[in-house]
Amino acid sequence: MSKSDLSAAEAIRARRSIKTFKSDPVPEPVLQELLSLMQDAPSSWNFQPTRVVMIRSQEQKEALAAAAWGQKQILEAPVTFVFAVSIRGWEKNMDEILKTGVASGAWPQKFADWIRENAPGFQKGLGDREREYAIKDAMIMATTLAIAAESKGLSNCYINGWDEAKVKQIIGAEGDKNIGIALVLPIGTPAARPKHPGRLPASKTIFTDRLPSPVI
């Protein structure tokens, strides 16, 4: 962390969805720190289903922008992150994850054994929602990156507007049912900062103990 970094609260307040970026590259040490911060994001069971692809070449930027209805942030930003998920990746990675948890001293062997016994049933019980659960983890990782980047003066834009099949093809996962796409996130120096578009009053979105009835 350098002295000029914004605090988490400052970064959250500063963040806006940037629609136009300068072409300035992200300095390599900053990029590496962002990757490390992003990788520290939590995930359900610590199963870490998110697979992140950094889009940096002109050819890939053009392909991704085309898959995202021509959104020019992707063309302009020096790097765009595609947050994909490996929905069943945990089946292959669980052993390594449990071993690491025990070796680090964070998890007693008993806890690791409990996960091994219970997590597979939990995951299978999710049925179609297994993808949704993986997407939650990816969104947490993406948000971690977005705030970390903002803290370093690098802005971004969450992007949902893309064709999933095309994005999968671009990152090399064409037709793979195990892979889902959560989000596209260009990062860079903003060429213009939009104003805050405002939020609904908290009285409409934040409650204590129960939702009101009816919910609007």
Ligand X SMILES: Cc1cc2nc3c(=O)[nH]c(=O)nc-3n(C[C@H](O)[C@H](O)[C@H](O)COP(=O)(O)O)c2cc1C
Residue 163 in the binding site for ligand X (CB under 6 A): no
Nearer CB in complex with ligand X: 45/83: 83
**Least distance in angstroms from the C-beta of 160 to ligand X:** 3
Instruction: State which of residues 85, 159, 173, 181 lies at the interface with ligand X (CB under 6 A).
Output: 159
Residue 160 in the binding site for ligand X (CB under 6 A): yes
Separation of alpha carbons 120 and 25, rounded Å: 42
Nearer CB in complex with ligand X: 142/171: 142
Separation of alpha carbons 131 and 49, rounded Å: 10
**Least distance in angstroms from the C-beta of 52 to ligand X:** 16
Dihedral over Cα of 167, 179, 99, 37: its sign:
positive
Residue 17 in the binding site for ligand X (CB under 6 A): yes
Contact window for ligand X (CB under 6 A) among 16-24, 116-124, 125-133, 145-153? 16-24
Separation of alpha carbons 115 and 192, rounded Å: 47
Nearer CB in complex with ligand X: 62/163: 163
The answer to whether 22 and 190 are in contact (CB under 8 A) is: yes
Stretch 48-107 residues interacting with ligand X (CB under 6 A):
71
Separation of alpha carbons 38 and 179, rounded Å: 20
Residue 205 in the binding site for ligand X (CB under 6 A): no
Nearer CB in complex with ligand X: 44/143: 143
Contact window for ligand X (CB under 6 A) among 54-62, 107-115, 153-161, 172-180? 153-161
The answer to whether 153 and 21 are in contact (CB under 8 A) is: no
Which positions lie near ligand X, rule CB under 6 A? 16-17, 19, 71, 157-161, 194, 196-197
